[in-house]
């Protein structure tokens, strides 16, 4: 790389070759008559790392003057703007001496007409620093370039420091942030700053988090003034976030709400999640106090509420998974079984996330004992009974649940047994599915004969087609109302047993209905809902 500079003030020509071990003492200075400043940079020659015919190595890349010009422009926009304000015009020409690509040029006309907003940030030592945000937003297709600057040149993008913003389709622009604080802390290679993401010290007294929070407030005002649909865009992004993570809606920062439409949704969610986790840690740290303030009680209620919303949101994800299994024909009994409760496992205490027995009914999470694909003899032993008199002690019900029927009688039990039948068969599917009903009846009788089991109910989860529905009605099963297809029920009077047969789609619809009621209540009470509604008049 060769440099030749013609300097009008010094009336001389300076030249040097820039190499890896460059020595400033090797700059050649020759007196000459110079009428205007000019610098020529020539790129030529290749090292063996890029072109080595002996090794059949060719790593050369095609150099396009237009692409080089665009990359250079982005890097030196602040410098060109600085000189343009002083009335100094700079022209940069790019020429391919081989003639492979047409020449390109950068002139002062390529520098946008920047506007400026200034703001101040006070550090922990009460030292005030001035910041200047130069910006240009245009209603035309193009790119958005955002940079922190130092010494009149770009250093790194906003995205490099965890501030990812975008403009809607049909808009382009530049955001350039300058400050003495940045100039003083830029690294020698001019590609980063000595500033911490969050923490501060004696040298780095303002973090990127603090800088970006102030920066977002300024950008918010700019886009509100320059982009008429800002209110609508913000509202749509907030609704998107609310649907994804409803339990985080009260933990989105005010600055993020003001500019939500231009921020990365994932970034907003991650920050809200951190605030939520910090709030929970703070609540746990203060547990066990003799007295609590009204604010502490209010915070505890809000955190508990949002933990519950998080749980309901996770349930929605499980329902989506089950729906996907059905729609994609992944009707593997074991996969669906494990979605309810892991096969060959048992448990005597439910906590959130342990299993998904709520899919049938939320009341089923209050069990005192639950078994999945366990032998009837093992299940009876676990609830204090023997398998004496049971004809099928080695059979394995898919799911067997037991509940304390009467708190005053610990041995009085209620039982629920669930069979999950395959959703497709190569032949006679209705006959095979109905066989699952008779199989379930045998399991229920085996448990019902035990003295401590006072009440028992069975469920068959399968895919109910017209043929199976006809077979069920012929066997005295009665269709009951549900949100999707009917649930079929029959009460067997002699053994005192009820059996319900329901389709997986019905199960999903009923569970979603329970979730939706709860989520709608939470959303109506949320701070974010109030913010979204407050913009309705403006947007409409």
- Summarize pLDDT for 487-531 with one digit per residue, the tens: 999 999 999 999 999 988 888 888 888 877 776 766 665 555 555
Helices 230-244, 265-285: crossing angle, 10 deg rounding? 50
- As its CATH architecture, domain 329-517 has 3-Layer(aba) Sandwich (3.40)
| Non-local CB neighbours of 441 within 8 Å, separated by 6+ positions | 458, 492, 497, 499
Mean pLDDT of 251-255: 77
Nearest-CA neighbor of 97 among 58, 19, 45? 45
Distance CA 152, CA 176 (A): 10
Tell me the backbone φ, ψ of residue 74, rounded to 5 degrees. Answer: -60, -40
Position 276 confidence tier, pLDDT thresholds 50, 70, 90: confident
pLDDT at 539: 44
Distance CA 318, CA 473 (A): 31
Distance CA 322, CA 259 (A): 36
pLDDT at 527: 55
Distance CA 490, CA 477 (A): 5
pLDDT at 396: 95
pLDDT at 537: 46
Looking at mean pLDDT, say which of 39-43, 196-200, 222-226 comes out highest: 196-200
pLDDT at 379: 94
Tokens for 287, please give them: 């547990």
Q: Hey, how many other C-beta atoms are within 10 angstroms of the C-beta on 123? A: 15
- Of residues 190 and 527, more confidently modeled: 190
Nearest-CA neighbor of 214 among 279, 277, 158? 158
| Number of DSSP helices (H) and strands (E) in the chain, helices first | 14, 21
Nearest-CA neighbor of 197 among 156, 253, 248, 145? 156
Distance CA 143, CA 136 (A): 12
Instruction: Give the CA dihedral 13, 19, 22, 28, nearest 10 degrees.
Output: -20
Q: What is the CA radius of gyration of the chain?
A: 35
pLDDT at 348: 85
Tokens for 398, please give them: 């898919």
Position 183 confidence tier, pLDDT thresholds 50, 70, 90: very high
Distance CA 416, CA 432 (A): 22
Distance CA 304, CA 110 (A): 55
Which residue's structure tokens are 């602040």? 78
Which residue's structure tokens are 């032993």? 381
Domain boundaries, the chain: 1-61, 112-228, 329-517
Distance of CA 446 to the CA centre of its chain: 48
Tokens for 144, please give them: 């958005």
Position 117 confidence tier, pLDDT thresholds 50, 70, 90: very high
Indicate if the alpha-carbon torsion angle 475, 480, 485, 490 is positive or negative: negative
pTM of the predicted protein model: 0.54
Q: What is the pLDDT of residues 227-246, one digit of tens each?
A: 888 878 878 888 887 777 77
pLDDT at 426: 60
Tokens for 360, please give them: 């049938």
SS3 content of the chain, % helix, strand, coil (to 5): 40, 25, 35
Helix, coil or strand: residue 201: coil
Least confident of 130-144, 147-161, 231-245, 472-486: 231-245
User: Could you please report the per-residue DSSP string of 332-360?
Assistant: -HHHHHHHHS-TTEEES---TTS--GGGT
Mean pLDDT of 67-90: 86
Q: What is the pLDDT of residues 327-339, one digit of tens each?
A: 765 556 778 888 8
Mean pLDDT of 379-386: 91
Strand duo 38-42 + 2-7: pairing = antiparallel
Which whole-number Å values give the CA distances from 223 to 77, 173, 229, 451, in the listed order? 21, 11, 9, 73
Element of type H or E holding 180: helix 180-185
């Amino acid at each position: 790389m060769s440099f030749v500079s013609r300097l009008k003030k010094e009336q001389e020509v300076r030249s040097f070759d820039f190499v890896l071990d460059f020595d400033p003492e090797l700059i050649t200075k020759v007196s000459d008559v110079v009428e205007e400043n000019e610098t020529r940079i020539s790129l030529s020659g290749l090292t063996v790392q890029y072109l080595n015919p002996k090794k059949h190595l060719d790593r050369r890349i095609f150099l396009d003057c237009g692409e080089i010009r665009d990359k250079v422009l982005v890097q030196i926009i602040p410098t060109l703007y600085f000189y343009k304000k002083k009335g100094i015009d700079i022209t940069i020409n790019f020429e391919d001496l081989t003639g492979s690509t047409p020449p390109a040029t950068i002139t002062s006309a390529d520098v946008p007409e920047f506007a400026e907003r200034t703001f101040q940030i006070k550090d922990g030592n009460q030292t005030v620093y001035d910041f200047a945000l130069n910006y240009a937003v245009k209603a035309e297709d193009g790119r958005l370039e955002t940079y922190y600057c130092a010494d009149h040149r770009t250093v790194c993008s906003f995205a490099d420091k965890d501030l990812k913003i975008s403009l809607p389709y049909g808009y382009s622009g530049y955001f350039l942030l300058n400050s003495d604080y940045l100039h003083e802390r830029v690294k020698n290679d001019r590609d980063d700053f000595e500033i911490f993401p969050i923490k501060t010290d004696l040298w780095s007294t303002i973090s990127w988090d603090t800088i970006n929070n102030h920066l977002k407030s300024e950008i918010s005002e700019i886009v509100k003034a320059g982009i008429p649909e800002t209110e609508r865009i913000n509202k749509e992004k907030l609704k998107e976030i609310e649907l994804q993570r409803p339990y985080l809606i009260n933990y989105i920062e005010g600055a993020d709400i003001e500019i939500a439409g231009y921020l990365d949704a994932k970034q907003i969610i991650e920050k809200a999640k951190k605030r939520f986790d910090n709030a929970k840690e703070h609540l746990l740290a203060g547990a066990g106090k003799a007295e609590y303030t009204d604010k502490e009680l209010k915070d505890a209620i809000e955190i508990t509420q949002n933990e519950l919303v998080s749980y309901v949101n996770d349930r929605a994800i499980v329902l989506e998974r089950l729906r996907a299994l059905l729609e994609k024909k992944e009707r593997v009994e074991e996969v669906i079984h494990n979605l309810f409760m892991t096969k060959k496992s048992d448990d005597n205490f439910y906590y959130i996330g342990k299993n998904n027995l709520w899919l049938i009914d939320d009341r089923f999470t209050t069990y005192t004992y639950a078994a999945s694909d366990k032998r009837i003899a093992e299940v009876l032993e676990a609830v204090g009974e023997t398998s004496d008199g049971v004809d099928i002690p080695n059979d394995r019900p898919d799911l067997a649940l037991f509940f304390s029927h009467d708190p005053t009688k610990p041995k009085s039990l209620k039982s629920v047994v669930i069979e999950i039948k395959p959703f497709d068969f190569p032949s006679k599917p209705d006959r095979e599915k109905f066989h699952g009903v008779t199989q379930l009846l045998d399991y229920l009788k085996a448990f019902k004969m035990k003295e401590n089991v006072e009440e028992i109910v069975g469920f068959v989860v399968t895919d109910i087609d017209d043929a199976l529905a006809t077979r069920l009605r012929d066997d005295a099963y009665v269709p009951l109302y549900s949100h999707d297809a009917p649930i079929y029920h029959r009460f067997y009077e002699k053994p005192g047993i009820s059996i319900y047969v329901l389709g997986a789609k019905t199960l999903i619809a009923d569970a979603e209905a329970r979730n939706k009621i709860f989520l709608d209540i939470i959303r109506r009470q949320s701070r974010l809902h109030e913010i979204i509604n407050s913009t309705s008049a403006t947007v409409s």
